[in-house]
Amino acid sequence: MSKLPTLLLLLLCLASFTSGEIKKLKIRSDNRPMILFERFGFTHTGQASISVSSVSVISSLATPDPSGLGFFLLSEESLIQVLIELQQNPNFCVLESNYIQRLFTFRDLSPPPNSSFDRAYPVTSPNEYSLFFANCAPESKVSMDVRTELYNLDGRVKDYLSAGLTQLPTLYFLFSLVYFGFLAVWVLVCLKNRISVHRIHGLMALLVVMKALNLLFAAEDKHYVKVTGTAHGWDVLFYIFQSMRVVLLFTVIVLIGTGWSFLKPFLQDREKKVLMIVIPLQVLANVASVVIGETGPFIKDWVTWNQVFLIVDIVCCCAIIFPIVWSIRSLRETSKTDGKAARNLAKLTLFRQFYIVVIGYLYFTRIVVFALRTISAYKYQWVAYSAEEIVSLAFYIVMFYMFRPVERNEYFVLDDEEEEAAALALQDEEFEL
């Protein structure tokens, strides 16, 4: 039990953004001292319904005390007190703590062979709680079938989304409409400037389609979870379009960073290698995302999948920066020999701006959004999701504006009178990153 405080803290940190719904799972021969099922924000009308059946406990020592195995709710405010208790006494059973809301222990189970329990508990104090199962019996393995149902009552209607996430269906739907409008504007711009349209502009249009569909199906997914407790298959479409959108986003950033179809019709070997690394890693990251989202923290490898997703995402974010840096350095070298100072200065400026925009986007969506979700009150978790979508939309608008298809843009600045000033600018400014 000495590792329990660290395990408890790690689980709560990683599971800080799970949403409630009806979950059914089978636990077989599990010896973990603590199993986190989910985290949920309850209002004053919150309910926690738990049903267990087919319960069996196998121990290599004496017959375990059934009061040492059971379910409880733990609020974030009480977490520190429980951690202190566990650190002061490693053999302390968390089910004996005065800082938890104990639901039931195996002492309340019906006698064998049924060994089952089914009850709903009202949550009297509105807060965000984590639902845990604790096993304080040493050298014991537990098997059981569990069904959890966490929800808030809106009159007589059950709302299976956490108090801070119940606005997500509307939020995602509105943003999907914005992206469909964005797509219409982009198509009009491309049609108006057919001569200047490159292959990358087609990929950019496809990216907007994937983003809009991803948000639309995310709205449907969350709506059905909110109303019924299950996604009714909408989660499959959501994960499909999310995977396609993320892979396509990283691909578009890499291709723009290399100057493909703008500056050159082909990719160099090192640029192809970046794509060969980023795309499979993004596929792996999306597999990890599906496992994290669909299983929950109660599976044994859930923490491992979180770590895989985090590492892969960091590697991909770093990898897509290299092509932009290579393009800036290549243009810098070219500017010394081809005599087209104004054109090269415009390209360098554009790529440096794009580099800054990409860095800002990755920093905000990976770090700032995580911080917002961590520090926001449970009732206002939707604010972090709104901020992420607003910044993503701003990134799309800036990127698409910078590389829009126009007959005369920054790539084609060739005015003779600007050559001398541009040459001096290239000499004075090193464009160091």
154 and 172, same domain (yes or no): no
Residue 405's pLDDT band (boundaries 50, 70, 90)? confident
Give the DSSP H/E element, type plus range, for residue 132: strand 127-135
199 HSE (CA, 13 A, CB side): 8
155 and 172, same domain (yes or no): no
- Whether the per-residue pLDDT at 233 is higher than 50: the answer is yes
Residue 296's pLDDT band (boundaries 50, 70, 90)? low
Q: How far apart are CA 281 and CA 313, in angstroms?
A: 8
The DSSP bridge partners found for residue 35 are 133
Whether 433 is in a domain gets the answer no
213 and 305, same domain (yes or no): yes
236 and 133, same domain (yes or no): no
Assess contact for 399 and 357: CB atoms under 8 A: yes
The CATH number linked to 13 is 2.60.120
Structure tokens at 321: 């920066």
* Predicted pLDDT at 221: 92
CB atoms within 10 A of CB 424: 12
334 and 390, same domain (yes or no): yes
Structure tokens at 334: 């070219």
CB atoms within 10 A of CB 409: 16
8 and 108, same domain (yes or no): yes
Whether 196 is in a domain gets the answer yes
Q: Pick the residue with more confidence: 196 or 335? A: 196
61 and 172, same domain (yes or no): no
Residue 377's pLDDT band (boundaries 50, 70, 90)? confident
Structure tokens at 96: 């004996």
0.85 exceeded by pTM: no
Can you give the residue range of the structural domain that contains 404?
A: 168-428
Mean local confidence (pLDDT), 249-278: 77
Q: Let me know if 303 is exposed, middle or buried by CB neighbors in 10 A (0-12, 13-18, 19+).
A: middle
Residue that the structure tokens 């039931």 belong to: 104
227 and 191, same domain (yes or no): yes
Whether 213 is in a domain gets the answer yes
Which domain-ending residue is among 137, 159, 181? 159
Q: How far apart are CA 323 and CA 339, in angstroms?
A: 24
Structure tokens at 116: 């089952």
143 and 244, same domain (yes or no): no
Whether 334 is in a domain gets the answer yes
The CATH number linked to 242 is 1.20.1070
In this structure, of 218-232, 317-331, 336-350, the range with the lowest mean pLDDT score is: 336-350
134 and 237, same domain (yes or no): no
Whether 172 is in a domain gets the answer yes
Name the DSSP letter for residue 266: S
Q: How far apart are CA 30 and CA 299, in angstroms?
A: 10
- Whether the per-residue pLDDT at 70 is higher than 90: the answer is yes
| CA neighbor of 81 nearest in space, from 92, 97, 104 | 97
* Predicted pLDDT at 147: 93
Mean pLDDT, rounded, of the chain: 82
- Quote the percentage of the chain above a pLDDT of 90: 36
Whether 106 is in a domain gets the answer yes
- Whether the per-residue pLDDT at 422 is higher than 90: the answer is no
Which domain-ending residue is among 126, 159, 192? 159
125 and 214, same domain (yes or no): no
Whether 206 is in a domain gets the answer yes
197 and 132, same domain (yes or no): no
Which domain-ending residue is among 90, 125, 159? 159
Q: How many domains does the chain have?
A: 2
